[in-house]
Structure 1
Amino acid sequence: MERLSLNQITTDNWNMREAVEGCARASIPWIALWRHKVQQAGLAESKRYVRDAGLRVSSLCRGGMFPAATKSERQARIDDNRRAVEEAAELGTDVLVLVCGPAPDRNIDDARKMVEEGIEQLVPYAVSCGVRLGIEPLHPMYAAERSVINTLSQASDIAERYAANQVGVVVDVFHVWWDPDLYRQIARANGRILGFHVSDWIVPTPDLLMGRGMMGDGVIDIRRIRKAVDSAGYTGPIEVEIFNRSIWDAPGDEVLALMKERYTQHV
């Protein structure tokens, strides 16, 4: 269990203090934080809760959302990403997860260029703060509203323009399991994998956003993907990240107990 991390969105009904104390009770050593939760609790208080519980922060989510219709809007997104970098550094994690953003219009090619330009502008500041940028490709069904970076290959194409200790990729099984080129792309990302997220793909999928399942409840061969990620040099924390209303509404301690059980069985 030394690699297990609770991604805070999995227990969305818990506030910052409840999530941190829940991890401590369950002997889960890592927690991945979300910026809106940090803002609700306050940056200093969030840091104190984590420190007092003896936890480590695996990542901060999220930066990104680079494309916008105007130059001023794009600059505002860069400014917000700089704040996200600062928050990650203050919270004690060196990984900022980038959900890169959708097109502001129908031009997906231009949106992808905006993502590339946004990352290029952000890298020097992130380096100065000791924070690495993890590009997370999202499933193609999210291309219109969340991210125009939809394959691990696209993410690596961008990451490889920078040093491995500056920009890498985040592998989330929910987003990449379907890719026929997945295992070759994981091997290609050797030394650049900055995070690994697990959940499951339920059949039939009940909701595009809120339809992720607990590991073992769906069709993803999670262990095979985990072994490939390990072989590509990733030895860091493994985050359980689940968007699912029924899981959110369940008692948090029960969710963590089930999470640990399924982690052992399927990850």
Structure 2
Amino acid sequence: MKAHYFKIDQFEVPFRVQVDELPYFYNKYHYHPQNQLTYIEKGTGTYLIGNKIGRFAEGDMFVLGSHLPHVFMSDDKYFTDQQLGVRSVNVFFTPDFFSDKILFIEELSAFKDFISLTKAGLQFNSFSKKEILSDLPQKEGFSRIVCFLEIIESLIASKNKALAIDVLYKMEEPNPKMEKLYLFTFENFKSKISLSEVADLAGYSENAFCKFFKKNTGQTYVNFLNEVRISHALSLLQDPLKSITDVAYESGFQNMSNFNRQFFKKTNINPKTYQLKLHSL
């Protein structure tokens, strides 16, 4: 998927708050020099952060480092029924939010360590301080800064966080071949895709392509493709009436045994059990 450079207008204050209330989230793989904090207030879908694919849901928080390419792709239902709508609270702030001299103060050393971790992206499931985030857009001046620091403090103290990507994937400039491969995969994963097809697309032999993709992403193309398909399957399983067979084939799998195997590998549970648990909550 093409990583677009996303220009964020310069701002004089230490950070900028942006509330997005739209039919669906901005759906282009992009990056920018500012750090980004995104709270998903309404909406579900699949994220691609660097080389990592996963699901996001209401209540999730993401903190992304400078130049880390990402996209939050809304589920299909948001494109077919735009009355559903999505909402997120976003904070953009520069990596040098605090000066180096201030960061040497012992009380602020945790902030410096936290910013270092965000280079690879952090995900917080079911962020507990959502009321602070709800207040942030209405705050002004010094009160807004205090509110922002309270959010950062709660994230630093949170035990419920995970590294969003497996290998550091920072983009100063787009990689045209990887962009083309991502775009092709997300547009065609529901159909059969052969290794020779994507190798030709990138201009490599199959063997050379496998080395190229592994070097750039830390994983094989087949594994990446399976993750895209399983992420789509997870969204389809939100429908309690959807059959497992339909979910498998609509996600691009050609046989049930491979679908079940890949689903278990990703979630450590079989599809039917996942669907039943999801709708028994």
Shared fold (TM-score, shorter chain, > 0.5): no
